[in-house]
A and B are shown apart, each in its own frame.
Chain A
Amino acid sequence: QVQLVESGGGVVQPGRSLRLSCAVSGFTFSTYAIHWVRQAPGKGLEWVSVISYDGMNKYYADSVKGRFTISRDNSKNTLYLQMNSLRPEDAAVYYCARAKGSYRTSFDYWGQGTLITVSS
C-alpha cells in the first residue's frame, strides 16, 4: 500500500538548520510530484513546497522562499526539505503529500507528519 513516512523533526534553535526526509513506498516514486505542507499547532494547513517527478521544477511558498530547499533522490525513494535560518513561526507539523495527478492536482496520500519546534 502507499506509504509516506516523514522523519527528521525535533527541537531546533532559531537561526539553525534542519533537514526533513520523507521515505515513500507502495508506488513508483519517480513518476509523481511530491509536496510539503505544514500545520502550526492548533492552526490550519499551509502549503510549503512542491517538486516535480524528475526534480527539475520546484516551487515554494513566499514564507519559506530563499530559506527552504526541496529535493528528491529517486534512487532512494526519498524526498527532502532542507530548512535553513529557522524562525519561531516555522514551528509546525510537516507533512509530505503525493500529488494525485501530473498537473493542477490535489494531494491524495499524506504521511503522518513530523513535528518541528523552534525554540531557544
Chain B
Amino acid sequence: DIQMTQSPSTLSASVGDRVTITCRASQSISDWLAWYQQKPGKAPNLLIYKASTLETGVPSRFSGSGSGTEFTLTISSLQPDDFATYYCQQYNSLYTFGQGTKLEIK
C-alpha cells in the first residue's frame, strides 16, 4: 500500500502570506496526485489534479508541483476563505489520502 505523509500537520499564517504544504509518497506515484480543501462540516473540494492542473473555478493563487514522491501545494497570497484543512491524495494505485494539514489564522 502507498502511504502519503503531509507536513506540517498544522500551519499558522496570516492573510496575504505565501504558504506551502508538502506531501510525500512512500513510493513513486508519477504525477497521480490531487489536492483537496475541506472546511468544517463540508465535503472536500477538489483544487488540483495530476499534481499541477488547477480544477475549473479554483483561484489561480493555488498551485501544485512535484512528481515521483514529493509534491507541494502553494497558496501565493492567503485569503480569509483559504483557512481550512488540506489533503493530498494519490491515485496511482487505488487511493490514499494524506493525514491533512490544518491551515489556521495566526
Whether chain B is bound by chain A comes out as yes
Interface residues of A (CB under 8 A from B): 35, 37, 44-47, 50, 59, 61-62, 95, 97, 100, 104-108, 110-113
Interface of A is mostly: strand
A62 → chain B, closest Cβ, in Å? 8
Q: Say yes or no: B55 contacts A46, CB within 8 Å.
A: no
Which residues, 32 to 58 on B, are CB-close (under 8 Å) to A? 32, 34, 36, 38, 42-46, 49-50, 55
Nearest neighbor of B6 in chain A, beta-carbon distance: A44
Q: Say yes or no: B99 contacts A44, CB within 8 Å.
A: yes
Q: Say yes or no: B97 contacts A110, CB within 8 Å.
A: no
Q: Contact check: which of A44, A100, A106, A110 meets B43 at CB < 8 Å? A: A110
Q: Say yes or no: A47 contacts B43, CB within 8 Å.
A: no
Q: Say yes or no: A111 contacts B43, CB within 8 Å.
A: yes
Q: Say yes or no: B46 contacts A100, CB within 8 Å.
A: yes
Given A50-B95, A59-B94, decide whether A108 and B43 contact each other with a Cβ distance below 8 A. Answer: no
Q: Say yes or no: B87 contacts A35, CB within 8 Å.
A: no
Q: Say yes or no: B97 contacts A104, CB within 8 Å.
A: no
| B46 contacts across to A, CB distance below 8 A | 100, 106-108
B89 → chain A, closest Cβ, in Å? 7
Q: How far is the CA of A104 from the CA of B92 in the complex (A)?
A: 6
| B96 contacts across to A, CB distance below 8 A | 47
B104 → chain A, closest Cβ, in Å? 15
Q: How far is the CA of A100 from the CA of B55 in the complex (A)?
A: 10
B29 → chain A, closest Cβ, in Å? 10
Q: Say yes or no: A106 contacts B49, CB within 8 Å.
A: yes
| A108 contacts across to B, CB distance below 8 A | 46, 55
Q: How far is the CA of A46 from the CA of B1 in the complex (A)?
A: 13
Given A44-B100, A106-B89, decide whether A113 and B43 contact each other with a Cβ distance below 8 A. Answer: yes
Q: Say yes or no: B95 contacts A35, CB within 8 Å.
A: yes
B71 → chain A, closest Cβ, in Å? 13
| A104 contacts across to B, CB distance below 8 A | 32, 91-92
